[in-house]
Amino acid sequence: MAGGQGGAVAPSQEPGAGELAERVALVTGGPGGIGQAICRRLAGAGTTIVVNHAPWEAAAAQALARELGGASVALPADLTQSDDTRLLVPQAVERLGRLDVLVHNAAVWFREPFLEASEAHWDQVLAVCLKAAFLVGQAAARQMVAQGGGAIVNIGSGAGASYARGQSVFRYC
């Protein structure tokens, strides 16, 4: 999907792609596999991307933002920390002037048997998958209402709908 000048993602020729042109989208969990695909697809439709990343993913997020081209940027926030999470949307708007699309894609899960699961891991899952979705979504909605509209997409996993012996309870988001 990459191409064009300077490695920027080539514009999409798909029907409806023009609806996202000249928009700004914030994608949480941008450096991950699904996050990268979302960022590339949106950038291919002409959207400027804010690639949100955990502090330890800075290099990958910055490389992705450069690949996406245009005014796309990488923006760190530890989504397990409420203060970081609350600041994400205002920082994105400060950098790019608006926010039209939020894709809450960030997730965390642990591979450990239920009887060995720690409360700390459970707290991390809830913070990233639920609390951050609420806090970022609320901040994005406020911004979008002030601008006259926008779209919020929350992504979850179907893994939580099934259980296999020995798997953890942490697979639901």
Give the tens place of pLDDT for each residue, 120-171.
999 999 999 999 999 999 999 999 999 999 999 999 877 666 666 666 655 5
| pLDDT of 18 higher than 50 | yes
**Among residues 31, 58, 172, 173, which one is catalytic?**
172
Query: Which CATH fold would you assign to the domain 19-171?
Result: Rossmann fold (3.40.50)
Q: Is residue 163 annotated as a catalytic residue, yes or no? A: no
Q: What does the pLDDT look like over 73-113, one tens digit per residue? A: 999 999 999 999 999 999 999 999 999 999 999 998 788 88
H-state helical runs in 45-173: 58-68, 82-96, 119-126, 132-147
Q: Using CA atoms of 94, 95, 97, 101 in order, give the dihedral in degrees to the nearest 10.
A: -100
Give the chain's radius of gyration (CA, Å): 17
Q: Looking at residues 58-83, what average pLDDT do you find?
A: 96
DSSP state, residue 12? P
